[in-house]
Amino acid sequence: MIWGSTEVPKLFSLSHNSQKMHKSTQQMLKQAISLARFEQDPLCEVLNLWSPITAENQALALNLDPMQKLVNQARLADGLEEVNIQVVNEIGIDLNLLFDHEHMHSMLQFISGLGPRKAKRMISKFKGIGKKLATRGEIFKTKLLTQEVYFSANGFLKIRIPKEDMPSGVNNTYDVLDQTRIHHESYRTTYMIAKDACLQEGENQEVDRLT
């Protein structure tokens, strides 16, 4: 049995997002679902409290500091949004995981270069494609993002494909760098650096063996 805080689940059950995701679900069950998700991924579930509309933003009700009630709500929202952007971009988002889980959609708006409207449009296009992505380059090729936005965001959008989910032929195009924060246009340079490092290590080992 795992014990967890019920603050976030209670706020989620009252949130605008819970009404969209679990429209006909009882409030207690919404809390149970949220608690399970919170234990698996706290950041994702906290961001499900977020709304760009101050009156609907349950994140403002989080008990963060005894003095926070003295802070203007708009300024508090601005401060929280800045932290959300910083943390989400540090971690990144697995787009194929997001494709499978609706409750992760709220994270996408905090990726650099996006925002609520572009994130919503991207999710709609992604669902329209109807399949997961094999490479990071497909984000641009499938027109999920414009070129300018893609260059800003691609380092924070990760592509992971479990081996059991790989269709035939994907192994030829799958790139391990799609799981990193390295920008797509820097892959060639990255591989050259890695190759040179491996060659240098091999030469050093040969010298050690001879001496």
Q: Are residues 79 and 101 in the same domain?
A: no
Q: Are residues 107 and 37 in the same domain?
A: no
Give the C-alpha distances (Å, rounded to integers) separating 29 from 4, 6, 96, 211. 16, 13, 27, 69
One digit per residue, pLDDT tens: the chain, 211 residues? 667 788 999 999 988 888 888 888 898 999 999 999 999 999 999 999 998 888 889 999 999 888 888 888 889 999 999 999 999 999 999 998 888 888 999 999 999 889 889 999 999 999 898 888 888 888 888 888 888 888 888 889 988 876 666 655 555 567 888 888 888 788 888 888 988 888 876 555 544 444 4
Q: Are residues 120 and 156 in the same domain?
A: yes
- The type of residue at 181 is R
Which CATH number does the domain housing residue 174 bear?
1.10.150.850
Q: Are residues 87 and 1 in the same domain?
A: yes
Rounded to two decimals, the pTM is 0.80
3-18 tens-digit pLDDT: 778 899 999 998 888 8
Q: Is 153 exposed, middle or buried (0-12, 13-18, 19+ CB in 10 A)?
A: buried
Q: Give the chain's domain count.
A: 2
Residue 176 corresponds to which tokens in the numbers above? 């391990």
Domain boundary (72, 91, 110) is at: 91
In a domain, 209, yes or no: no
Q: Are residues 87 and 9 in the same domain?
A: yes
Q: Are residues 62 and 114 in the same domain?
A: no
Could you list the residue range(s) of the whole structural domain that residue 107 is in? 92-185
